[in-house]
Chains A and B, each alone.
Chain A
Amino acid sequence: LAKTTQPISMDSYEGQEVNITCSHNNIATNDYITWYQQFPSQGPRFIIQGYKTKVTNEVASLFIPADRKSSTLSLPRVSLSDTAVYYCLVGTYGQNFVFGPGTRLSVLP
C-alpha cells in the first residue's frame, strides 16, 4: 500500500485559493488518488479522484504530475465552511484504504 504524507495543518483566509499537497512516492501503476473531507462528528465525504494530469469538479481541482509521486488538491475561494480535515488516499479497487493523519484546514474570516 502506498503511504501518503501531508501537512498536518494549514491556515487560510476566506476567498483565498488553498492548495494541499500530498506525497506518495511509492504509488503503484494501478493506484488512483482520492481526496476526502471530514467535518467534526461526520464521516468523511468524497471530494475528488484522479489518476493523472488534472481533474476538476464543482468543488475542487486535483493536479497530478507525470511521475504521480505527489498530488495537489486545490480549493478555489475557500469559505469558513471549508474548515475541515482533508485526507489523501492512494489505492486501487479491492484494496484496503489507509487513511493518513490528514491536513487540518482552518479558514479564517
Chain B
Amino acid sequence: SAVISQKPSRDICQRGTSLTIQCQVDSQVTMMFWYRQQPGQSLTLIATANQGSEATYESGFVIDKFPISRPNLTFSTLTVSNMSPEDSSIYLCSVIPGSSYNEQFFGPGTRLTVL
C-alpha cells in the first residue's frame, strides 16, 4: 500500500496567477499520476509524472499550462499556470506501488477555486 498526502488541501486563487500542488508518498514508487476532477464529473488523467524526465501528457493537456516536476520517487508537484475559472477543479495525484498490480492509491485531492 501507499499513503499519499497533498498540499494544499484547498485554495482560492485569482485569475491569472499560478498554484503549485505538492504530492508526497510514504514510499518509493515508480508510477505516479496527476488527475483532474471537475465538480460532479469523473476523473481525467492529466499526465504521468516520470522521475528524472519530462512528464507524459494526455491529449488536451500541455506542459506550459500544467508543468510537472518529479525530482525523486516519493515526491511530485503539479503547477496550474495562468489560471482561469475553468481550472476550478479537484486535482489528485495517484501512485501504483511496485508491489500492487494495477492498484492505484490516491491522495486526498486539492480543491482549487479560481475567481
A interface, CB within 8 angstroms of B: 32, 34, 36, 41-46, 49, 87, 91-94, 96-102
B interface, CB within 8 angstroms of A: 4, 31, 33, 35, 41-45, 48, 58, 92, 94, 96, 101-109, 111
Q: How far is the CA of A12 from the CA of B45 in the complex (A)?
A: 31
A41→B109 contact, CB < 8 A: yes
Q: How far is the CA of A40 from the CA of B11 in the complex (A)?
A: 18
B102→A49 contact, CB < 8 A: yes
A44→B106 contact, CB < 8 A: yes
Please classify the interface of chain A as helix (H, G, I), strand (E, B), loop, or mixed, using the class held by over half of its residues: loop
CB distance from A96 to the nearest CB of B (A): 5
A42→B101 contact, CB < 8 A: no
Of the candidates A44, A94, A102, the one whose C-beta lies within 8 Å of that of B104 is: A44
CB-CB under 8 A for A97 and B45, given A43-B94, A49-B102 = yes
Q: How far is the CA of A72 from the CA of B109 in the complex (A)?
A: 28
Q: How far is the CA of A99 from the CA of B35 in the complex (A)?
A: 10
CB-CB under 8 A for A96 and B45, given A44-B106, A49-B101 = yes
A98→B101 contact, CB < 8 A: no
CB-CB under 8 A for A43 and B45, given A49-B101, A49-B103 = no
CB-CB under 8 A for A99 and B42, given A42-B108, A43-B108, A93-B96 = yes
Q: How far is the CA of A105 from the CA of B9 in the complex (A)?
A: 26
B41: chain A residues within 8 A (beta carbon): 101
Q: How far is the CA of A14 from the CA of B92 in the complex (A)?
A: 31
